[in-house]
Amino acid sequence: MAERPDLDYALPILAEALSGRVIEEVVVKDPVVLRLMEEGTPEELLVGQRVTSLARRAHFAHFGLSGRDLLIAPMLAGRFDLGKRGGRRRKDTVFVLGLGDVELRYRDDVRMGKVYVCPHERWTDIPGLGTLGLDALDPDVFTLDAFSARIRKRRDQVRLFLMDKSEVDALGNAYADEVLFEAKVHPKTRCNKLSDAQVEALHRAVPAVLAGAAAELEARQPPLDEKLRDFLKVRNRKGEPCPRCGARIRVAGVRGYDSFFCGSCQRDGGSSGLIDWSRVGR
Ligand SMILES: [Zn+2]
């Protein structure tokens, strides 16, 4: 899934390549990803539009155009790619904008992402963008008080809270697991059962994990269409040794999503009814 660090890395590169350019061509390879929030065809709505701004909104890339807005949520498998106009496109390309000699390609081999076209100021009507959570990398906003006030109101599993983009801007599946690992909190712990020390640990871990990922991407400069994840400590590492204690990384389902964690350093605390893995051996 393209998450905040991926978008924070990719968007300045896209802005550099596309800002000020005019859309001359639109190719919709798979209309299933497209959501038009005004009357008209994609060509009528997009051709002739100039790219004026580019910003991240939760897990969306928000292209400000001269007459309307274009927002793309890459979701599970979506990725951006820049290419030469008329050059060879990968098979998983679903949406293309031609701007001068450059092409912006949106690739998504599972078609779970969405491309929205909407009038200015209507982007907040897009599902998931009505209310944005605390910006985790703005220390003036993401204070311990503000974070505690939000997490203390919830009774559901802490991983669901962390992934709720109306609460925290923004963590997806991969970085929620990394934050829980960093804070040594079991993913199924109920928010109302967290100790003050655990809330403080989570509050420290959220920006630390996101900033760490941002620094990693910045240092390694991966190609735009590559999702660099090899530095993650627990995500997709089932059965591998925990980098902190050596116990094996386990997987639990939280509302249908896999959550990766260390059963030894992320203790359940008895609040979720899970087996205490540390007692049944490794
Ligand atoms: Zn461990």
Per residue in 248-261, pLDDT (tens digit) is 999 998 888 899 99
Q: How far, in Å, from the CA of 121 to the mean position of ligand 1?
A: 46
Q: Cα of 261 to ligand 1 centre, how many Å?
A: 8
What DSSP designation does 35 have? Answer: E
Taking the centre of ligand 1 as the mean of its atom positions, its distance from the CA of residue 248, in whole angstroms, is 7
Nearest residue to 28 via CA among 13, 45, 16: 45
Q: 59 CA to middle of ligand 1, Å?
A: 29
Share of the chain above pLDDT 90, in %: 89
Tell how far the Cα of 264 is from the centroid of ligand 1, in angstroms: 5
Q: Give me 244's structure tokens.
A: 């902190």
Rounded to an integer, the average pLDDT of 103-125 is 95
Helix locations, 99-250, DSSP H? 144-152, 158-163, 173-183, 196-220
At 81-93, the pLDDT tens digits run: 999 998 999 999 9
d(CA 136, CA 139): 7
pLDDT at 165 over 60: yes
**Cα 186 to averaged position of ligand 1 atoms, centre (Å):** 11
pTM: predicted TM-score of the whole model, two decimal places? 0.91
Domains of the chain: 4-125 (3.20.190.10), 134-280 (1.10.8.50)
Q: In angstroms, what is the span from residue 43 Cα to ligand 1's centroid?
A: 53
State in Å: Cα 247 to ligand 1 middle.
5
